[in-house]
Amino acid sequence: MKKSLFTLALSAAMVLGAASAHAQVNVMLPANPGGGWDSTGRQAFAAMNEAGIYTDGVNFSNVGGAGGTIGLAQFQSTSSGQEDALAVFGAITVGSIILNDSPIDLSEYRPLARLTAEHLVVAVAADSEIETLEELVAAMQENPGAVPVGGGSAGGVDHIALALLAQEADVPVAEINYIPQASGAETVTGIVNGTLTAGISGISEFQQFADQGRIRILGITSAERMEGLDAPTFQEAGYDVEIANWRGILGAPGMPDENYQTWVDRFTQLNESEAWQDVLETQGWDQYFLAGEEFGEFIANERERIAGILEDAGLAE
């Protein structure tokens, strides 16, 4: 009887210990606080908690640099094989891996969910003499080196969008003066103080500053005009450029299948929740959901597409 009670107690303790071990998920945010990836991760789990999909603890880690490759490299070395270890990433990561010749292989990670897409906008200071996208392009055609344009990481989606715009306008891509910035806020500071002629970033990072009258948005990279934004698409302005900055979630390399499917199901529920719809509307993000292996196929195709763009633009071999 004593042995039976001891065995029962030991078993209960093991179950409680296991439950405690899985009560918290670790989420790598491979960027500095306040940016798009940081917001995506934190907002997703806040909405998941509000919807009752996942209500246990979340441990966020911010490790910025090199378009997310530094954080992902750290994530891979410390989290491979773990059951509940996730990382945020996106289109910027794909380009940065190529541009930096990073050893990171995204096919080794478990693709959980593509969550959002955000189109890019180009902006100048509110009092700039440049009033249209065509005038900005004309200045680049005249002397591309004299038109500093700020944006995210070198080789990231901002850089790629500017390279595509240059190609469309017959501006030598190798001569454009692209200056990577640490954040959208830093880009706006450069625009306002005159160290940058223009900046390019996601609409969510620029919209508030445009609303404050600090900057003027000249164009957006979407296929159609954005409601509430008084600016043409690049295509309307005569430049066949359409590109979006998508963001998603990866599971750690070697994540067990059971946990992998659990997280795919959780993000699927998140995508359908009212709490997440509210986040998308508030942040100005487009719903861009894709889960599991279909997301994995998308990542592989996106790597090939972005590699081709970078090569065509002379940014990678």
Tell me the per-residue pLDDT of 66-84, one tens digit each, with 9 for 90 and over.
Answer: 889 999 999 999 999 999 9
- The span from the CA of 93 to the CA of 100, in Å, is 10
Tokens 């995204």 belong to which residue? 106
| Percent of all residues in the chain with a pLDDT value above 70, rounded to a whole number | 93
Homologous superfamily of 119-220 in CATH? Periplasmic binding protein-like II (3.40.190.10)
pLDDT at 81: 97
Homologous superfamily of 23-117+245-312 in CATH? Bordetella uptake gene, domain 1 (3.40.190.150)
pLDDT band of residue 9 (cuts 50, 70, 90) is: very low
Strands (E), 152-193: 177-180
Computed over every residue of the chain, the mean pLDDT equals: 90
Secondary element (H or E) of residue 129: none
pLDDT at 14: 40
113 compared with 227, residue with greater pLDDT: 113
Contact 205, 36 (CB under 8 A): yes
Contact 203, 121 (CB under 8 A): yes
This prediction has a pTM of: 0.78
Residue ranges, CATH 3.40.190.150, the chain = 23-117+245-312
User: How crowded is residue 132: how many other Cβ atoms within 10 Å of its Cβ?
Assistant: 15
Strands (E), the chain: 24-29, 57-62, 85-90, 110-125, 148-151, 177-180, 198-202, 215-220, 244-251, 286-291
Residue ranges, CATH 3.40.190.10, the chain = 119-220
